[in-house]
A and B are shown apart, each in its own frame.
Chain A
């Protein structure tokens, strides 16, 4: 007696493929989920004790990054300004603004402001700001349009693939050192009219790859093999 009709053969064969596809698909879904802002926190505006606006301070007032993030050129940690830095200006302006009360209170009482960390890396990753600045990685390469953030959020996923993308293709991202803190810097594009052309070392570059390659050479950036060695970031 035959229980299964002939067509079940086809279903069985198809299901072999379908199971593989389903498992692969599930894997793909999980991997994609891993990349969503739900996991990476990219784009999430976290609550802060004071609604500090980078947009206002950088774009509006033209304050340089290093006025507050003082150790960005010398240390692994860019530095979060002490309350004193805020008070430098805010003892003159907006002295009575209600939302600045936590700042004034901190200065009065000597208790630190407790900011919620926005750009967060796992504990087993060791990132160093100073060397990236020194080798010509712009602030907004990783931090995105920070100068247009009324409330600060993490721009990039900061997952390993994000870091590796640059470590494997440095020429795609490097810019001259004097442009690192320039928020309006735009990389050269292949344009016959020389739009965004960058002059470096007496040569004009119309192409980011050519510029990046030249900068990689000029700034003694270590080879791709070097900077993709595990101990570059993990120790």
Chain B
């Protein structure tokens, strides 16, 4: 069916026949239609969701509507009488609003102004955000000592200016009003000194027993200072023990390294030299994978079709953003990957054709094997954390055999200071607790009462009187804090001194930017109390540690330089030579299970649940599903059809005798007979944002099978549940008669033949009824433009959060998201192409296009959106009266309307957090991407003061700055040597919906894939 025929479907008529506008009563998607569409190859070529593929009426309506159904309607329970009263009062007051007198406000200067502080000029400090033990280096913007924005550290090799979503969003955690604010004992507020007094008694008693009853439970520790502190304590109390637990751990990686080399080495990759990359269930381009920021940069740099382009094969059990970028992707049950890895390791020795029949898997295996063989020393095999140790060992042997070690693969000492097996470590602690050997339990952050393996029943053990003294250091009064007598609020990383190591071992000193808001304490200070040094501050402890390490003369210079740079020179782990113990790698077992496999995965947004109370992350559309505020039961389309399950159906998942109910999400490209569920939801004590969202699957997760297991059962319940997915909202429609898809894509071969493919169908530049002069910006000093490289974009979502933080964008909540009222200025659309069981995937970030011929401007009755002299499509909030005509007329659907008062004007913490250079929008006002006009203004003023102009590269938008892939470039179109002009001059450059002749300033570089010619069908 062509696009035209799509339109002829009587969608509008049907919509009219259904007066009900409630989004909860949408027509269900018919999966049989989806299949037919595919088989007839009649659906749209590039589709965003299975609903679109099926050509559902509901989807058609979404295309035509400015906002999704329910967004523009007043659906809340509000009586007619109440409405009239309010309206009457509003009308009466409307005339007076213009006469508001400004209230008196205060100016509060310093008493003694610190040196180098200029009010109105932000300062930047280098520090690091730590997740799973791995530090991501950041620069933090500070307005008069209020941290407001996190950026990557451009000089740090692990960042190169990029960040990850967790680092970006961590600023919101700092100002979270739900953070624990007091030291409590059984819920009663106590002072720090009271805590020290109370704890010293039991500690003295333990001291006489060499600390026999003391157990310290930490998360992954890469902080050299903290590790040294704990080791010193253990040395003084030899019977005390240090346990480590974190649900999202790298046990398999460590065990795999031990299996292959006999020691827990860390594996590091250099993707800049890799021509062929094979990912076995590794989502190495998404935050949470150690080094993902740097890997993304290196990977994206090699996606240039005009240079030496790399090739990515992804074999994966859960569709991921890395899989979306693959040149060849194969969905495979997690348990089957082992035999694939085995065959890959045996490639060349065993004939793969004999081992595998000539099915899809066999063909891919043959092609991958050959490709790897022909790229010895310039290829790499990466294995995901959740694959069993043997797969890691096999990958090590493949990398070794291909001669990749020392070229694309490096082995170093572990970043983790205590690389013990997490599951075993926690088990040992639980055994000791059962045996009554534990008197004092110190839990340093984490949330084991919520996320410990189910069979350990850690929460009930913690609740029981098995341990006399339980101390918890944590930022929130969460599930674990509830069960410990003492709860000490943990200082945020922007409030306390510490240190950490990046994925390459580089040490960073974590320096605070603000005094603890609620007298929080750091792990260093608690351990110091245990060691009997209760007066020690974090600063002194960290400094003392590095003073000991420093051998040179001038420690002060070294310290200051390290703080300034954000890293300590010469601390990166040196590559070490390790010998492969070939004999010990066991033969891979081919999967025997034939039942339904259940996969547990960390959530792409809230990780293991620790970011539950972070509204930015909760509302961040997950890369593929674009889901917010919930976790689904994810299955493939074939399985959904077999089980007669549909979108929004609630199914009951049964595993290991445990049952849980959740809404089904049918994900194109998900392997058959396999279910994926996401950890981190169903929190009961997360806070006002995270409590109650989604369902908890930790009770099913055991240490025997932390990541996947066979034997799950899924049954329909007949109930339905609304998942707030933004996929499908703000859907762009191709104009009448045009079949030009929004994403333009070709294979490398086709691109070489016809490089200008993407421009097809674009009108010539001079085609206009207006006088051409009005589009002439050549006389201006600046004329701003942006180009986005679809080849580089890996859908990491960084740009969304960077924009949210920079531009004070509100969080709206699940109910409002469901109505399509979310406020993100930049969205990342996911497109699919091809069969629903294994489609190709594409990401397309869509900010405001800043059209020169902007449709929004023509329809605004109050001129609240007009063009600036430099070609920006300005939005003037104070003029806007909220007609929403502009967004109705925007073909890109990038305008966002404040349907309600979404900004929190009351909570004092958030007032500290906001960017003072951007207006806080109120209700009834339209808003949209401004190209970060505040940054343009600042840069322009700064350079003009020096009688100069903005140099290319000196000015970056927030999205561009945070992008780890360098996929966004912004600059001056009137500067012929600017990077953005170079990009726009490329053959791949095309305008989104260019056939509308909107003359967008933001253009895209079309996607070029590099498929293996051997696999061409």
Question: Residues of A at under 8 Å CB distance from B?
Answer: 30, 33-34, 38-39, 41, 46, 71, 74-77, 79-84, 106-107, 110-117, 120, 122-124, 126, 128, 130-131, 134-135, 220, 222-223, 225-226, 229-232, 234-235
Q: With A and B bound together, what is the CA distance between A74 and B869 in angstroms?
A: 25
Known: A38-B101, A75-B118. A116 touches B877 (CB 8 A): no
A230 near B99: Cβ-Cβ < 8 Å: no
Q: Which residues of A contact B112 (CB under 8 A)?
A: 82-84
A86 CB → nearest B CB, Å: 10
Given contacts A229-B870, A234-B919, contact A81 B933 (CB under 8 A): no
A-B contacts, 13 listed (Cβ < 8 Å): A34-B99, A38-B101, A81-B109, A107-B111, A116-B105, A123-B919, A124-B878, A124-B919, A135-B944, A223-B869, A230-B874, A231-B874, A234-B876
Asked if B965 is at the interface of the complex by the 8 Å CB criterion, the answer is: no
A30 to B920, CA, bound (A): 28
Given A39-B101, A231-B937, are A134 and B945 neighbors across the interface (CB < 8 Å)?
yes
Chain B nearest Cβ from A108, distance in angstroms: 9
B866 at the interface (CB under 8 A from A): yes
Determine the chain B residues whose CB is within 8 A of the CB of A107 once the complex forms.
111
A79 to B111, CA, bound (A): 13
Whether B941 pairs with A79 at a CB distance below 8 angstroms is no
- Contact at B102–A128, with CB atoms within 8 Å? no
Partner of B930, one of A126, A134, A231: A231
Q: Can you name the residue of chain B whose Cβ is closest to the Cβ of A110?
A: B111
Q: Are A114 and B106 in contact (CB under 8 A)?
A: yes
Residues of A within 8 A of B109 (CB): 79-83, 112-113, 115
CB of B104 within 8 A of CB of A117, answer: yes
- Least distance between A88 CB and chain B CB atoms (Å): 11
Is the CB–CB distance between A117 and B868 below 8 Å? no
Contact A235 B937 (CB under 8 A): yes
Are B941 and A131 within 8 A (Cβ)?
yes
Judge whether B119 is part of the interface by a CB distance below 8 angstroms.
Answer: yes
CB distance from B877 to the nearest CB of A (A): 6
Q: How far is the CA of A80 from the CA of B113 in the complex (A)?
A: 10
Whether B98 is near chain A, meaning CB under 8 Å from some CB there, is yes
CA distance A223 to B868 in the complex (A): 12
**Residues on A with beta carbons closer than 8 Å to the beta carbon of B98:** 30, 34
* Cβ proximity bits B91-107 to A, threshold 8 Å, 1 near / 0 not: 00001001101101111
B98-144: which have CB < 8 Å to A? 98-99, 101-102, 104-113, 118-121
Query: Are B118 and A106 touching (Cβ within 8 A)?
Result: no
- Specify which chain B residues have a CB less than 8 angstroms from the CB of A30 in the assembled complex: 95, 98-99
Shortest CB-to-CB span from A98 to chain B, Å, is 20
- The answer on a CB contact under 8 Å between A41 and B874 is no
CA distance A124 to B880 in the complex (A): 12
Residue B918 interfacial (CB < 8 Å): yes
Question: Nearest CB to that of B101 among chain A residues?
Answer: A39
Shortest Cβ distance from residue B144 to the other chain A in the assembled complex, whole angstroms: 10
Residues in chain A near residue B95, CB distance under 8 A: 30
Chain B residues contacting A230 (CB-CB under 8 Å) are: 866, 868, 874, 876
Q: How far is the CB of A77 from chain B (nearest CB, A)?
A: 4
Which residues 764-816 of B sit at the A interface, judged by CB distance below 8 A? 780-781
Is A231 within 8 A of B111, CB to CB? no
Q: A30-B95, A115-B107, A226-B869 are in contact. List 9 more A-B contacts (CB 8 A).
A: A34-B99, A77-B119, A84-B111, A120-B102, A122-B878, A126-B917, A130-B941, A230-B876, A234-B878
Q: Are A231 and B872 in contact (CB under 8 A)?
A: yes
B934: interface (CB < 8 Å)? yes
8 nearest A-B pairs in the assembled complex, by CB-CB distance: A77-B120, A229-B868, A75-B120, A82-B110, A80-B109, A82-B113, A76-B120, A230-B874
- Cβ of B947 within 8 Å of any chain A Cβ, yes or no, is yes
Within residues 863 to 886 of chain B, which ones have a CB less than 8 A from any CB in chain A? 866, 868-870, 872, 874, 876-878
Cα distance, A220 to B943, chains bound together (Å) = 12
Closest A residue, CB atoms, query B866: A230
Q: How far is the CB of B811 from chain A (nearest CB, A)?
A: 20
By CB atoms of chain A within 10 A, which of B95, B111, B874, B937 has the most? B111
Residue numbers in B under 8 Å from A71 (CB-CB): 118-121
Is there an interface contact between A74 and B110, defined as CB atoms closer than 8 Å?
Answer: no
Contact of A112 among B108, B877, B941, B944 (CB under 8 A): B108
Q: Check B106–A115 contact: CB distance below 8 A.
A: yes
**Who on chain B is nearest to A221 by CB?**
B944
Question: How close is A96's CB to chain B, nearest CB, in angstroms?
Answer: 20
A29 CB, min distance to chain B CBs, angstroms = 12
Residues of B within 8 A of A120 (CB): 102, 105
Which residues of chain A have C-beta atoms less than 8 A from B933's C-beta?
231, 235
Neighbouring A residues of B944 by C-beta, 8 Å: 131, 134-135, 220
Measured between beta carbons, the chain A residues less than 8 angstroms from B110 are 82-84, 112
**B101, B870, B945: most-surrounded residue (chain A CB, <10 A):** B945
Closest to A80 in B: B109
| Chain A CB within 10 Å, residue with most, of B101, B107, B108, B118 | B107
CB atoms of A39 and B99 under 8 A apart? yes
| Alpha-carbon distance A114/B106, docked complex (angstroms) | 6
Q: List residues of chain B with CB within 8 A of the CB of A235.
A: 917-919, 930, 933-934, 937
Q: How far is the CA of A122 from the CA of B100 in the complex (A)?
A: 11
Q: Which residues of A contact B105 (CB under 8 A)?
A: 116-117, 120
Whether A126 and B934, one on each chain, are in contact in the complex, defined by CB atoms closer than 8 angstroms, is yes
Bound-state Cα–Cα, A230 to B874, Å: 7
A226 to chain B: which residues have CB within 8 Å?
780, 869-870
Q: Which residues of A contact B947 (CB under 8 A)?
A: 220
Q: Are B106 and A123 in contact, with the CB atoms below 8 A?
A: no
Residues of A near B937 (CB, < 8 A) are: 126, 128, 231-232, 235
B906-950 Cβ-contact flags toward A at 8 Å (1 or 0) = 000000000001111000000000100110110001001101000
Q: Say which residue of B101, B113, B866, B941 sits within 8 Å of A128 (CB atoms).
A: B941
The CA-CA distance from A83 to B109 in the complex, in Å, is: 8
Find the B residue at minimum CB distance from A115: B107
Cα(A222)–Cα(B868), bound, Å: 13
Residues of B within 8 A of A39 (CB): 99, 101
What residues on A are CB-neighbors of B118 within 8 Å? Answer: 71, 74-75, 79
Expressed in whole angstroms, the Cα–Cα distance for A80 and B874 within the complex equals 32
The CA-CA distance from A192 to B1009 in the complex, in Å, is 77
| Residues on B with beta carbons closer than 8 Å to the beta carbon of A229 | 868-870, 872, 874
Return chain A residues, CB-CB under 8 Å to B102.
41, 120, 122
Report B-chain residues with C-beta under 8 Å of the C-beta of A82.
Answer: 109-113
Q: Which residues of A contact B866 (CB under 8 A)?
A: 230
The contact of A33 among B99, B878, B918, B920, by CB within 8 Å, is: B99
B878 nearest in chain A by CB position = A124
Measured CB to CB, the closest approach of chain B to A133, in angstroms, equals 9
- A126 to B920, alpha carbons, bound, how many Å? 13
Instruction: Using known A-B contacts A220-B947, A235-B937, determine if residue A80 contacts B917 with beta carbons closer than 8 Å.
Output: no
B877–A234 CB distance below 8 A = yes
Least CB separation from A133: chain B residue: B945
Closest to B112 in A: A84
Q: Closest chain B residue to A41 by CB distance?
A: B102
CA distance A123 to B919 in the complex (A): 7
In the complex, are the beta carbons of B107 and A117 less than 8 A apart?
yes
Per the bound structure, the CA–CA distance linking A206 and B945 in Å amounts to 28
**What residues of chain A lie closer than 8 Å to B934, measured between beta carbons?**
126, 235
Q: For the complex, what is the distance from the CA of A80 to the CA of B110, rounded to whole Å? A: 8
C-alpha spacing A46/B868, complex, angstroms: 38
Task: Compute how far the CA of A210 lies from the CA of B1010 in the bound complex, rounded to whole angstroms.
Answer: 64
B973–chain A nearest beta-carbon distance, Å: 16
Q: How far is the CB of A14 from chain B (nearest CB, A)?
A: 27
